[in-house]
Homo-oligomer: A and B are copies of this chain.
């Protein structure tokens, strides 16, 4: 992912014939694409998708100890997926004694939602 994402058209039509109408893009902002694709990437795993769904359906926060047994995966793996979601800004966590609780950051999905609408 070390690519220079310049979006300016680089060359006009080749010598050939008109393949297309003189379509009129430049388009989306590159930084917006990067933010939204980062969120989409975090959601791009079925386990993480289900984790977010559980957290969303349980409006409050949910204890990790309730999350782990929902899947046929080891505890470190679930912890890893939660970390990915946390680093994407989709969820947040708070510790409380022995337990850790996760919750969805409500606004984290807004930009993607708007783009999809």
Contact of A20 among B4, B40, B66 (CB under 8 A): B66
Q: Would B113 and A57 count as touching, CB distance under 8 A?
A: no
Least CB distance, A62 to chain B, in whole angstroms? 6
A27 interface contact, C-beta 8 A: yes
Copies of this chain per assembly: 2
A7 interface contact, C-beta 8 A: yes
A106 interface contact, C-beta 8 A: no
Q: Would A9 and B72 count as touching, CB distance under 8 A?
A: no
Q: Would B69 and A53 count as touching, CB distance under 8 A?
A: no
Least CB distance, A73 to chain B, in whole angstroms? 7
Q: Would A46 and B72 count as touching, CB distance under 8 A?
A: no
Q: Would B43 and A3 count as touching, CB distance under 8 A?
A: no
Taken together as a complex, chains A and B put the C-alpha atoms of A43 and B112 apart, in Å, by: 10
